[in-house]
Amino acid sequence: GENVEQHPSTLSVQEGDSAVIKCTYSDSASNYFPWYKQELGKRPQLIIDIRSNVGEKKDQRIAVTLNKTAKHFSLHITETQPEDSAVYFCAASSWNAGNMLTFGGGTRLMVKP
């Protein structure tokens, strides 16, 4: 089945700096890559997603890039703010794996004011 690895597990940045979280996946048939944000004590919620026919997608301060050849995708947060502090999860889905949605291990992002 699909295997998704996420790095780093923790990331600390200064307010205003950029943050980058990277994920790799194993199944070349994966075609959907969402990112979820989980604030402390709350449920994970989708913040952005990308499909395999697109190389990059932006939404205000967040962007996701996808490299299908290398089988990795990344979340970029620019001009970080304290409210960006949370745990971020990447995920991938593949028809080969019964269309399962497989999550990475998560990254705890801390934005220092």
Partner 1 sequence: DAGITQSPRYKITETGRQVTLMCHQTWSHSYMFWYRQDLGHGLRLIYYSAAADITDKGEVPDGYVVSRSKTENFPLTLESATRSQTSVYFCATWTGKNTEAFFGQGTRLTVV
Site for partner 1, rule CB under 8 A: 31-32, 34, 43-46, 49, 51, 87, 89, 91, 93, 98-106, 108
Name residue, tokens 């604030």. 39
Cα(26)–Cα(39) distance, rounded to whole angstroms?
28
- Least distance in angstroms from the C-beta of 16 to partner 1: 27
Task: Locate 92 and state its tokens.
Answer: 């991938």
Nearer to partner 1, 17 or 54 (CB): 54
What letter would DSSP give residue 42? Answer: S
- Least distance in angstroms from the C-beta of 4 to partner 1: 10
Nearer to partner 1, 88 or 111 (CB): 88
- Least distance in angstroms from the C-beta of 40 to partner 1: 11
Residue type, 66: L
SS3 78: coil
- Least distance in angstroms from the C-beta of 89 to partner 1: 7
Nearer to partner 1, 38 or 78 (CB): 38
Cα(76)–Cα(79) distance, rounded to whole angstroms?
10
Nearer to partner 1, 54 or 82 (CB): 54
Beta strand 72-77 with 62-67 is: antiparallel
